[in-house]
Chains A and B, each alone.
Chain A
Amino acid sequence: MTIWKAPWFWSWAAGALAFAATLLLTDGRNGGDLLSAALTFASFSAIVGIGQMFVITLGPGNVDLSIPASMTLAGTLSLKFMGGDAALIVPGLMVALGVGFGAGVFNYLLIRLLRIPPIIATLSASFIFQSIAIWSNRGLRIKPPQSLSDFTTGATLGVPNLALVALVLAVIAWVILDRSIFGRWLSAFGQNERAARLSGVPIEGVRALTYIGCATLAGLTGFLLASFSGGAALNMGTEYLLVSIAVVVIGGSSIAGGNSNVPGIWGGALFMFLIVSMLNSYGLGAGVRLIVTGGIIIGIVAAASKKGARA
């Protein structure tokens, strides 16, 4: 397969283009800083994007709208639990992952027991998660332990620590998707649920694990983001709803399910950050930035659909 036919190629190309366009303006200065900022911020989008990708792979109608609420809840509760105490970092992480896990179980149970479409299930659940977060937060901003804060803003061998974490997760996700039986089951489920069930795929197990995995990743992202930005805020997850879906689509995964790829998530996540910083450095305001971002998302799906029709 030639490289430009790979589904993830265009997201990387677009990211590189935005990077080059930004550097053009600064005559190549600050390239390293920009790259490390891009890697850091793309990490958050990449982690939630991986979770969302697994959910979207399940097929039409499958999308997790509770990601922002799960992130906020996990960030809020874990920071409150740690209370700035460095000794509690590992248990704090466990709290965040546990909150995510619980949110995923709740989502799945709603889908399974009430037979409601995942969009509505995760939507109603997100209302509840959000309320719990508001209630437990009470406008307080608890700082993360210093060492955790240093870790999330620091770098190892020049690479931001967060990017390393997200990279490891991406590799694990790639192995699961492309090299494990679970990945096969997931794709089979997304391509044809009935055929998958008849050929003995444990579809309920696959669906449960997918939703739980996605919410757990959202919990982890909430933990990292809250530590990175010096405390949990109630609106900290808001933008990640759109971003998580956008990186999946830009990354070349099929929105109709059954066909996904992990490298594209990173390409999409880097692109989403770089396009914003490009428009910023060209001095364009928030309004234009949003319009361009939206136009690009629509342009990419429109272009991708043409490719799909020809193939």
Chain B
Amino acid sequence: MNARFRILLPIASLAVLLAATFYMQPRAMSYFGLNLLFNLAVPIALATVAQMMIIMVNDIDLSVGTFVSFVACVTATYLNDAPLIGALILLAAIAGYAAIGALIELRQLPAIVVTLGMSFVWGGLAILILPSPGGTAPTWIRTIMTVKPPLVPMAIVASVLIAVIAHLLIMRTSSGALLRAVGGNARAVARSGWSLVRLKAAAYGLAGVFGAASGICLVGLTTSADANIALRYTLLSIAGVILGGGEFTGGRISPVGAVIGALTLALAGSFLSFMRLSPDWQIGAQGAILILVLSVRLLFARSNRKKGAAQ
């Protein structure tokens, strides 16, 4: 599958789901409706891009959800009460993320286990900072998240912005190409003189940055935080990357696709409530949509292979 083709399926999935939603609930086809549909998509999109950075270097991050929760707790407490200390804590957390990446490469550790361990650590820190749900969102983030730009709702503008930034960063810079190459052929990258430890640290650091942004935006929407606020983001972010056409190995990822994947997952929830499906089935339907998209992708890949064989 080449890069251009890779992006088609996620776009088609989102379009189909959006059309179905408008069909079920025509009133959603408005500024206000769209804002409501995609409101919670922004933090999910950021978390998905964070996960994509890790999947890009052939690892997988099981700590995204607890990290976003941790950042949310810091944002609703320190970043609000003492912005300087709050910012320092977040910077230290991002540096911690990069250090984990370096450690994983240095000691050749299985990322899935290390990030699993880290998920305990972030969860513990979150509970220490905010033992019971509460806190207050800083006014500035609240303002940014609730701003009403003309014509297009904030959630859409923000998603496009995230997609463009991630795309430029990963697909259009030489360092981005290098990072993808780590996933493609780490040995070749190392042989040509690059430090894998530094590159892995960079990928994990980027994940930390996007994860932190996700936590901050989440608090901007919810106005308060708790230590378990984003636990499901771990699974949602993995699903989003895959829905967006990313693959687990080979550095084959698509930042734009990842954001679209996240939007699709967020929309799936709204769609099901419009269908008057009981909320019990919301999680299950997300699983079903994931399976459906992967089946379609398999069909595409098969027909592609047949064409390739015929030529």
Binding site for B on A (CB under 8 A): 61, 63, 65, 110, 114-117, 119-120, 123-128, 130-132, 134-135, 242, 245-246, 249, 255-256, 285-298, 301-302, 305-306, 309
Contacts and interface: CB of A to CB of B under 8 A. Distances in A.
Contacts of A305: 107-109
Given A115-B298, A123-B238, A242 B124 contact: no
A306 B103 CA distance: 12
Given A116-B294, A285-B127, A290-B121, A128 B113 contact: no
Given A128-B284, A135-B278, A298 B117 contact: yes
A255 B62 CA distance: 15
Interface in B142-194: none
B248 interface: yes
A306 B113 CA distance: 16
Contacts of A290: 120-121, 123-124, 127
B267 to A, nearest CB: 16
A119 B119 contact: no
Given A61-B248, A114-B291, A297 B120 contact: yes
B114 A298 contact: yes
User: Taking each of A114, A128, A292, A298, which has the highest tally of chain B beta carbons within 10 Å of its own beta carbon?
Assistant: A298
Contacts of A302: 103, 107, 109
A291 B118 CA distance: 8
Contacts of B107: 302, 305-306
B291 A297 contact: no
A246 B112 CA distance: 10
B108 A127 contact: no
B120 A124 contact: no
A301 B113 contact: yes
Given A114-B295, A117-B248, A123-B238, A130 B284 contact: yes
A114 B293 CA distance: 10
Contacts of B112: 63, 245, 255
5 contacts: A130-B283, A256-B110, A297-B120, A298-B118, A305-B109
Given A124-B294, A294-B121, 9 more contacts: A114-B295, A116-B242, A127-B290, A128-B288, A131-B280, A131-B287, A298-B121, A301-B109, A306-B107
A223 to B, nearest CB: 22
Contact of A119 (B60, B127, B286): B60
B127 A297 contact: no
Given A110-B291, A116-B294, A289-B124, A123 B284 contact: no
A145 to B, nearest CB: 27
A286 B127 contact: yes
Contact of A245 (B103, B113, B288, B290): B113
B235 A123 contact: yes
Contacts of B116: 242, 245-246, 297
A123 B62 CA distance: 12
A302 B285 CA distance: 39
